[in-house]
Amino acid sequence: MFIALSATAVAATKLSAGQVKAVNIARQAVTNAKLKTQAVTSGKIKNGTINALDLGAGQVIEEKIGTGAVTGKKIAKKAVSPRTIANEAVQTDKLANESIVASKLSKSLYEQLVRNVAYESAQSVSDSEPNKTATANCPSGKEAIGGGARLEGELAEVSLTGSYPFSTGSSRTGWTAIAHETGTGQAGNWSIVAFVVCAEL
């Protein structure tokens, strides 16, 4: 009977500040239910002790991340996927020079691009013959994407009558220009020049 009363008296005794030391607390004795709201502050958390397993889903939100806190070294490889990038988030000024190569373009878009442009020309003889033709041919592997013609010499009675792509099969391989004398008198010496703009398609 005496022992029981003594135990009760000890339990009811009020503890003074600092009387309970860390060594007096058993492992796992302090649970979530024993912690006062906001009792654990930032200054009480040891650096590096909170990892991904300690964070609940959606707990780290945008306004909780300090400016410049997430750097390239903090992002795991393949962590940023198309699904995690917002629409229009990657703008032109965010792309490094020459960062987009042909293999990153769709086939339909790549086929519309003009590549390896070349300019060629061809000129007829310069004399007084009434009809002249000139054809400028593209280098091998390239097709005509544009062209034109001009007349040179004594042109008072000469007219350009044709300027169009020259085709070989289904490919536009050059540009042809045609002109002839239109007057009834004798024209002087003149010539026609055809030029073509070629590119890989």
Amino acid at position 154, single letter: E
Taken in order 83, 88, 92, 94, is the CA torsion positive or negative?
A: negative
Range of the domain at 195: 115-200
Would residue 93 count as lying in a domain?
no
Query: What CATH number is associated with residue 170?
Result: 2.60.40
Of 21 and 153, which is predicted with more confidence? 153
* Contact criterion met (CB below 8 Å) for 148 and 193: no
Yes or no: say if 190 and 141 are a contact pair by the CB < 8 Å rule: no
Residue 157 domain flag = yes
The verdict on residue 139 lying in a domain is yes
Please check the confidence at residue 6 and state whether its pLDDT lies above 60. no
Alpha-carbon dihedral angle through residues 69, 72, 75, 79, given to the nearest 10 degrees: 130
In a domain, 154, yes or no: yes
pLDDT per position as a tens digit, 158-185? 999 999 999 999 999 999 999 999 877 6
Residue with tokens 């010539």: 191
| Separation of alpha carbons 136 and 152, rounded Å | 16
The band of 2, judged by pLDDT with boundaries at 50, 70 and 90, is very low
Confidence of residue 92 (pLDDT cuts 50, 70, 90): confident
Q: Which residue has the tokens 């590096």?
A: 48
Question: Which DSSP symbol is given to 19?
Answer: -
**Number of domains making up the chain:** 1
